[in-house]
Structure 1
């Protein structure tokens, strides 16, 4: 690679200094010549900042007195950076030494590539994909996200089945590379989401603006899902349910929303009822809590919808073409399909 454009690695952080220490130790072994590391501290109370200052003096710190959430924390770091590329990295992720070079190479070869994701494997079980993004994110027409290597709760073993570099629908906020010029055009992460689904919303807006999103499996990052906010947290599940509906309101094209949204709300209610009858009360509470948060965010979401529509550079059918046209939930829970490879017919390299 002849060119090495500058990259700022932005790490949003709120407590968990041991996780952050391991993240920074791994990041220090990155084999890339032009890299800046920036930790956005979201009101930590566990002496994380003093640890970074004493053990990693070359790392920049941007502080917030309170927890702004993942989206606002990332945005704070992006605004504080000045490089042509920004890498978002969770504080519970650990990179491999060569993770950044393939991402930059792909970005340089594909000028419309605005978001690029490495292969994300489980830190606890390295031979298996991680829940957050796996080998690149996809989405069905009802707004249910899944990933190559992760279909709902099923995490596949990595056997090379998704080792082909190519376009996907979304790149995970747990580890991804973003092109600054694209962000300047479409805007940053939606801070009203607070956390969860904000990266998918951003990727959707990038598609509307004519950019592409890529998976680059030669780049590898390990991630500890739920290291910061537990995987089974009611709050986390509620944010996922609420933000998914807000994302649909903002991005689903044209008249499609008029039939997608009622069906999706019905599916949410079925999920709540089914969870109640099977004793998964946390899930029921999360769905109801999440859905109750939608009305208060509705005016802003509809305003954003108009802005996105007015600035769109691609036709609606192009957006729909990039989505899985069936129901991933129906395929998983009724037909018993357990892998994205079977669901989408992805060919091995």
Structure 2
């Protein structure tokens, strides 16, 4: 018998649904990348296959596919039975999916539900929804197998525990049975029918792709708000697997699918100290040294256990804290000792393990004071990452019953049962609007805390004040002047790194001989500017980094001025220089970079006279890569240059990412630089730089522009590309290169969309701040454009601002 098991699509504008595999189904921002593996579906599929049935697993939430695509995939499989995993918050969506599947598949197939929705665990639910044939209650691997066996003539429906089914014109219901105690009797969950790279739960930034697995099920603790023990398992029993068999699974799956890390998504991983230690020993014995993370309970940890776990590769843990008031924790069944929590978090950090902490507002007894103490505790504990939510009352939980009895449940619209985005509860002291205000305040204070931490943390580990990094490719004519200006800087504490990108003109050898204080790293071929500069960034030892083009030269006080600005303004992440044309120093090359809402990138002041208009320091969106200064820790926080860009616009891409993550860029007029421009690529416009400008302009927009901005400005974005295509076709003579660049950018959109989720999902400013920044860029651009010098005065064949020609090595 052919069975199709599915996590059906669940979408709304700007969000995607997280359902199967989640203990708390909810919507994630479209730019997020969190996707849990659907364990119950995966185990059920594997069990059916093991027992000789044909089984197909579809996860439309992980693939984010639309409804029509999902329906077509189901029809193409021609199943005899379809099981959908559903949830309370998504039930309205799930019933619509079931109705459409019934319409398309007809009455000959069996269609059923399973999952986290206690209201369907009664015959009345099945009676009220004629599109459905059966319901599975709770943990459903064995009930599903029993149902399929009964359909195949190997048993009866009455023998299947936890089943509600239409049978001979009536509805038959059997009581929930005992959960499987010996978990290792189940086959490993099915992983070869889904794309494992879609699943992402990486606490502490453990590397991707990351395998998710279970070593146990259940939790003996009494939290009134926790859904799975009360609704899915229907009990507080803890069941664990044999550590050796867990590592058997790890070893096989990590090897087969080339996983870079793994995560134990148990309800509570660290119950049973001997078992946890045995698992650590087995990992070490087999040489499984890749990093891993786990969902744990803080008061079951101690310093010794943490050291053993860290020695076995544990790099991050999730701890549920929930609240900073002991009476609230005790009253909600959490019973976490807060003093012990502080000690454990400190010991976790001391062991080199990163922490992700979760907090919620609205538990019984919550007040303004208790909520603000929770925020204060979160900042005091200073985890690597955290999560704030409103408590969600899952129907069937003790928490839901408590609220109903006291009249504190303010909505029965299950689509709103998402603690990230709405409050459906109140407390004796706080209404739903006040709880949402507290959630917003908590997230705002956390973003500010993150920014201050990033700025303040790295003061101690640097060997030198500043590392100056130059990427070179065949720069024999210009490199000596560049390096000479770096060597002559008045600030002494610095290192100079020359990254040579496969030069064939002897420039690297000449530099090594003429400037022995310069460290030279040579590549046999040209790896592109972005990759080369990233290697320089990783090799640098300075607290601050200066990224300098090989055809740029600095005034002797440049570094002194830059370091002075950084020391006075700890929240400044980047500094833009006052860059003049080397051949016409009375003209500005760049006084900072900007981008318009159309996607057009420009260099502020380009081809304007160098006068008092550019004498004042001010905030700008970005810095030109010809001479860019950055705090070194910023690269650890937001990442390095995007190597997909290769060259051109990678500097504004980096600057825009930094702004979205809360860092300011300041134009420093006293940081004076002279720039030749376009030396490496040979002429101002050629097929190479036009291709990369077009490609990377597409990448820049896809990666960094929020959906609302794209929706509002798509006509001007298209017009921008049409204008540029026309310019390069009719004037520069490189129209074909521009077209090829646009096409390549579109082909790279899949990669950019993945990075977009990370960048916009991790933003630390409101979009209104970004829109204000873009409006300022527009006014700035219109202002300086009126004062730009004519081409015959500048002595250049084409104006650099046309098409955003940023110069890179």
Contact residue 593 and residue 602 of structure 2 kept, 8 A: yes
1:171 corresponds to:
623
1:337 aligns with one of 755, 778, 786:
786
Q: Distance in 1 between matches of 2:570 and 2:743?
A: 41
1:257 corresponds to:
710
2:540 corresponds to:
81
1:236 aligns with one of 675, 689, 697:
689
Question: How far does residue 148 in structure 1 lie from its aligned partner after superposition?
Answer: 2.7
1:38 corresponds to:
497
User: Which deviates more from structure 2 when the two are superposed, residues 94-103 or residues 251-260?
Assistant: 251-260
Q: Distance in 2 between matches of 1:98 and 1:304?
A: 38
1:344 corresponds to:
none
Question: TM-score, normalized by length of structure 2?
Answer: 0.39
1:192 aligns with one of 641, 644, 663:
644
Task: From the superposition, tell whether residues 326 and 113 of structure 1 become closer, same or farther in structure 2 (CA, over 3 Å).
Answer: closer
1:280 corresponds to:
731
- Asked if 1:290 is matched to 2:746, the reply is no
Task: From the superposition, tell whether residues 275 and 243 of structure 1 become closer, same or farther in structure 2 (CA, over 3 Å).
Answer: closer
Question: TM-score, normalized by length of structure 1?
Answer: 0.87
Greater relative CO (CA pairs within 8 A, separation 6+): 1
Q: Distance in 1 between matches of 2:638 and 2:723?
A: 35
Q: Distance in 1 between matches of 2:639 and 2:471?
A: 18
Listed as ranges, the matches of 1:96-175 within 5 Å are: 96-130=555-589, 134-150=590-606, 155-175=607-627
Contact residue 725 and residue 735 of structure 2 kept, 8 A: yes
Question: How far does residue 98 in structure 1 lie from its aligned partner after superposition?
Answer: 0.6
Deviation digits for residues 192-248 of structure 1 (CA, Å, limit 9, x no counterpart): 000000010111111111110010001101000112222112211221121011111
- What value does the CA root-mean-square deviation take over the aligned residues? 2.2
Question: How far does residue 36 in structure 1 lie from its aligned partner after superposition?
Answer: 0.6
| Larger radius of gyration between Structure 1 and Structure 2 | 2
Listed as ranges, the matches of 1:209-220 within 5 Å are: 209-220=661-672
> Secondary structure at 1:161's aligned position in 2?
helix
Q: Distance in 2 between matches of 1:9 and 1:250?
A: 28
2:656 corresponds to:
204
2:632 corresponds to:
180
Contact residue 273 and residue 284 of structure 1 kept, 8 A: yes
Task: From the superposition, tell whether residues 205 and 16 of structure 1 become closer, same or farther in structure 2 (CA, over 3 Å).
Answer: same
Q: Distance in 1 between matches of 2:632 and 2:469?
A: 13
> Secondary structure at 2:672's aligned position in 1?
strand
**Unpaired runs of 5+ in structure 2?**
1-462, 790-809
Task: From the superposition, tell whether residues 242 and 60 of structure 1 become closer, same or farther in structure 2 (CA, over 3 Å).
Answer: same
1:268 aligns with one of 684, 698, 721:
721
> Secondary structure at 1:143's aligned position in 2?
coil
Q: Distance in 1 between matches of 2:521 and 2:628?
A: 20
Question: How far does residue 183 in structure 1 lie from its aligned partner after superposition?
Answer: 1.1
Question: How far does residue 324 in structure 1 lie from its aligned partner after superposition?
Answer: 3.0
1:347 corresponds to:
none
> Secondary structure at 1:141's aligned position in 2?
coil
